[in-house]
Amino acid sequence: MICRAVVALLLCFFVVSDTAGLSYNFYQNTCPDAEKIVADIVKNKIFFDFRWSPRLLRLQFHDCFITGCDASILLDATPSGDKVEKEHKSHETLHGFEVVKDVKEELEKKCPGVVSCADIIVFAVREAIVNMGVDHFPVVSGRRDRRASLASNVEPNIPGEYDSVEKSAKLFASKGFSLDEMIILLGSHSTGVAHCPSIEKRLYGEDTDKYPAMTTALKWMLNLQCPAITANSLNENLFVLLTPMSIGRLSNSFYNSLLSNRGILASDQALTEYPPSEKTVKVLAENDSVWKQEFIKAMQKLGTVDVLTGDQGEIRKQCSRVN
């Protein structure tokens, strides 16, 4: 009964997103092995370093949330000469570019000028998610690559580590996601890391009490892992696991951590202090398989945010530069 009730509650979270111009098996006639080529390369990369999985997942989120799923995050420069997204300070710890580059080079050998960099990101992340314990799922394709990229677009479109639930929800709503969908996507924090400067305010300073509570044991552990270099400075190269009990695996353990006041990021732990979001956190903490089913739907929807299709944009020959 509990499981059926949980499923019924979660199913109402989602609405069908607009995927005009996108379709399944988009490359069936022009590059039929495209998805397999991507999968083989990504699997090989992850075999030697499992960290590529969460890194790629974060790469897609940043790409899709800034100006849409358009591979603008991959550009090293644009004709305008303006500072690009990749150069924003918050992207100093963003990885996955090398994987996409290797995939693109192989696809250009087999199907030159056919598969977009934006689609490569989505295909690669699907494989990364599967590698982290989620069932394989289909994704639509047909995205085109944007010719522009601006660092100034990053900050307004990426949630902050100390944002309130209400502020984060407003940002997600602007991308077409409900509060519940936002919380489901945040479950990806069951893997990956947080660099020490992102939790500095919760650990050091005079106003730590204004941030969500954490257990004494967690604070002690974080103080050891993120020691203060000076009164208000932490080593940017040090990091902590977002959910230590779920290394390299996607699971609902993230929500159980929050309910035990063991959330690493202040914005994550704040979900349990806002009644509408706390209710969803409790539901998701009850059933891992249900969360994974809904996470798949959320990721499929994420891949359709503000895409370019048809004759918009271009198909880049190299993902780091416009044609």
pLDDT, average across residues 137-154: 97
The pLDDT value recorded for residue 6 is 47
pLDDT band at residue 233 using 50, 70 and 90 as cut-offs:
low
Beta partners for 318?
Answer: 321
Burial string for 73-111 (b: 16+ CB within 10 Å, else e) reads bbbeebeeeeebbbbbeebebbebbebbbebbeebeeeb
The predicted structure's pLDDT at residue 1: 30
The average pLDDT across 109-119 equals: 98
Beta bridge partners of 308: 144
Average pLDDT over residues 157-175: 96
CB-CB contact of 245 with 140 (8 Å): no
Give residue 90's pLDDT band: very low, low, confident or very high (50, 70, 90): confident
Evaluate if residue 142 carries a pLDDT over 60: yes
> Measuring CA to CA, which residue among 58, 4, 2, 14 is closest to residue 183?
14
* Per-residue pLDDT at 209: 78
Residue 305 sits at φ, ψ, to 5 deg, of -70, 120
Query: Residue ranges for the binding site for heme b?
Result: 189
> What per-residue confidence (pLDDT) applies to 157?
97
What is residue 242's predicted lDDT score, i.e. its pLDDT? 82
Residue list, annotated binding site for substrate: 159
Using CA atoms, how far residue 23 sits from 141, 185, 240, 248, in Å, is 6, 23, 39, 30
Q: How far apart are CA 77 and CA 88, in angstroms?
A: 13
Residues annotated in the binding site, as ranges? 63, 68, 70, 72, 85, 159, 189
Give me the pLDDT at residue 144, please: 98
How would residue 27 be classed by pLDDT, with cut points 50, 70 and 90?
Answer: very high
Q: Which residue has the tokens 């004709």?
A: 79
Residue 19 predicted with pLDDT over 70: no
Distance CA 56, CA 99 (A): 8
Other beta carbons within 10 angstroms of residue 208's beta carbon come to 15
pLDDT (mean) for 270-289: 96
Average pLDDT, the chain: 90
Token pair of 162, please? 């100390």
Q: Which pLDDT does position 26 carry in this prediction?
A: 96
Mean pLDDT for the stretch of residues 244-262: 88
Query: Is residue 3's pLDDT more than 70?
Result: no
Confidence check: pLDDT of 5 > 60: no
> Of the ranges 81-85, 248-252, 307-311, which one carries the lowest mean pLDDT score?
248-252
Residue 7 has pLDDT above 70, yes or no: no
**More reliable by pLDDT, 271 or 93:** 271
C-alpha span between 289 and 84 (Å, rounded): 39
Place of tokens 């995205």: 143
Instruction: Report yes or no: 127 and 42 within 8 Å, Cβ to Cβ.
Output: yes
State the pLDDT confidence band at 15, using cuts at 50, 70 and 90: very low
Whether pLDDT at 9 is above 70? no
Q: Which residue has the tokens 């997204």?
A: 85
Q: Is the pLDDT of residue 244 over 50?
A: yes
pTM, two decimal places: 0.91
**Span 211-221, mean pLDDT?**
86
**Domains assigned to the chain:** 24-158 (1.10.520.10), 179-296 (1.10.420.10)
Report the pLDDT averaged over residues 153-159. Answer: 96
Write out the binding residues for Ca(2+).
63, 68, 70, 72, 85
Taking the C-alpha atoms of residue 262 and residue 218, their distance in angstroms, rounded to an integer, is 6
Phi, psi values for residue 314, rounded to 5°: -155, 175
Single-letter code of the amino acid located at 237: N
pLDDT for res 230: 55
Question: Which active-site residues does the annotation give?
Answer: 62
Share of the chain above pLDDT 90, in %: 73
Averaged over 52-75, what is the pLDDT? 97
How confident is the model at residue 134, as a pLDDT? 96
Other C-beta atoms lying within 10 Å of the C-beta of residue 167: 14
